[in-house]
Amino acid sequence: MAELTYLQAISDGLRTEMRRDKRVFVIGEDVGVYGGAFKVTLGFQEEFGPWRVIDAPLAETAIVGGATGAAIMGMRPVAEMQFSDFVSCAWDHLVTIAAKQHWRAGTPIPLVLRLPSGGGFSGGPFHSQNPESSFAHVPGLKCVCPATPEDAKGLIISAIEDPNPVLFFEHKHLYRRIKAEVPDGRYTTPIGKARVHQAGTDVSVITWGAMVYTAEEAAQQLGDLSVEIVDLRTVMPWDKAAVLESVRKTSKVLVLHEDTRTGGFGAEIVATIAEEAFEDLDAPVKRIAAPDTPVPFSPPLEKAFIPQVEDVVAGLRELAEY
């Protein structure tokens, strides 16, 4: 075990797979000489050479389309969007080709797309988004959103191993802020299995990504309330059984995410709880998410946009008192 930041854990997982499997290669903008905008692939080009750590032109379509073709030819590409926001330029190749090729043509696409996402540091409308809900809606794609260093390493390895296109949403605000013990060597974390971040009996918070820590802080402030925090870890597929189990245990649920509210993945979770655990509820399900606006730049605006600890505290109190 070593103490690693979330960012180091991603690097560690990726390096582990690249050393083990020569089919794995990295392609993206500034991933080589510069080591990536966030330095996830720092030192990779020296170790693996310029044809396994490929500095691409500023061409997201070519990066994702090219990674798709290489995957069909038996490679295991790990492509990087410099910011998850730029995946809009590669939407077509993910949604039109990579997501549908297996279902309609029987061709597996073992592709990983790394997507540095999330806000909290004045990145503004084009460097802060959390677009996982949009892609979770597309049959054929998998969406992974780790919250801890241990999961970040295990899930990047699982994503590379997976025979499908996997979108790996790595939260930028966790990169250097979150540090924890990470197992040495190679291990996988299953895609589609949630994790109980902390067990509790009064209220459940269903969340993922950076919001796991927002929920944790809120729970700490509510010492008298026993809060269970379920970290989904992956939103497609998502661990319905784990969510329903927690609902049945506490009977009061808060669904929390950093993405905007309407049509956000929380809506799917809430709908499923309504369909399958209505009888188990002691209060209406509560949802806390960002308002339906683009992500703002100025600190007071961004604070108003991203769900804050005090918002979650208020929400949990309301639920507890219902």
Partner 1 sequence: MAIAREAEPVGSLNEVREAGLDREDLLGIYRNMLITRGLEERGHILYKQGKIPGSFYTGRGNEAASVGVATAMGAEDVGTPLHRDMGVHITRGVEPWKIFAQFMGRIDGPARGRDGNVHMADQNLGLIAMVSHLPAMLPVATGCALAFRIRDESRVAVGWFGEGASARGDVHECMTLAGTRKLPIVYVCDNNQWAYSTPTYLEYATEHVADRAQAYGFEGVVVDGTDVLAVYREAKRAIEKARAGGGPTLLECLTLRMEGHAVHDDAFYVPKIMFERWAESDPVERYRTWLQQNAEMTDDEEAAIVEQVKHLLNESLRRADESPMPTADDLIDGVYAEPEELETPHHK
Q: Give the integer Cα–Cα distance in Å for 59 and 28.
A: 9
User: If binding is defined by CB under 8 A, does position 164 make contact with partner 1?
Assistant: yes
> How near is the Cβ of 176 to partner 1 at its closest, in Å?
32
User: If binding is defined by CB under 8 A, does position 65 make contact with partner 1?
Assistant: yes
Q: Give the integer Cα–Cα distance in Å for 28 and 92.
A: 17
Tell which one of 33, 59, 271, 314 touches partner 1 (CB under 8 A): 59
Residues 20-39 that bind partner 1 (CB under 8 A): 23, 25, 27
Which single residue is written with the structure tokens 């279902």?
Answer: 103
From the list 258, 234, 239, 38, the residue with the least C-alpha distance to 151 is 234
> How near is the Cβ of 69 to partner 1 at its closest, in Å?
2
User: Catalytic site residue 197?
Assistant: no
| Residue nearer to partner 1 on the CB measure, 96 or 201 | 96
Catalytic residue among 127, 171, 173, 257: 127
Site stretch for partner 1 (CB under 8 A), options 125-133, 136-144, 148-156, 245-253: 136-144
Contact 102, 109 (CB under 8 A): yes
| Residue nearer to partner 1 on the CB measure, 57 or 185 | 57
| Residue nearer to partner 1 on the CB measure, 23 or 186 | 23
The first and second tokens of residue 188, run together, are 């996988």
Q: Give the integer Cα–Cα distance in Å for 173 and 195.
A: 20
Q: Give the integer Cα–Cα distance in Å for 239 and 224.
A: 28
> How many binding residues for partner 1 (CB under 8 A)?
47
2-5 vs 179-182, strand pairing mode: antiparallel
User: If binding is defined by CB under 8 A, does position 189 make contact with partner 1?
Assistant: no
User: If binding is defined by CB under 8 A, does position 163 make contact with partner 1?
Assistant: yes
Site stretch for partner 1 (CB under 8 A), options 57-65, 146-154, 177-185, 226-234: 57-65
**Side-chain half-sphere exposure of 261, counting CA atoms within 13 A:** 11
| Residue nearer to partner 1 on the CB measure, 61 or 293 | 61
DSSP 86: G
Site stretch for partner 1 (CB under 8 A), options 6-14, 52-60, 118-126, 311-319: 52-60
| Residue nearer to partner 1 on the CB measure, 1 or 73 | 73
SS3 string of 112-169? Answer: EEEEEECCCCCCCCCCCCCCHHHHHCCCCCEEECCCCHHHHHHHHHHHHHCCCCEEEE
- How many of the other CB atoms lie within 10 Å of CB of 291? 12
Length of the chain: 322
76-80 vs 112-117, strand pairing mode: parallel
User: If binding is defined by CB under 8 A, does position 180 make contact with partner 1?
Assistant: no
Tell which one of 51, 185, 275, 321 touches partner 1 (CB under 8 A): 51
Tell which one of 74, 185, 223, 300 touches partner 1 (CB under 8 A): 74
Residues at the interface with partner 1 (CB under 8 A): 23, 25, 27, 51-52, 54, 56-57, 59-62, 64-75, 77, 92-93, 96-97, 100-110, 139-140, 142, 161-164
Please identify every residue annotated as catalytic: 127
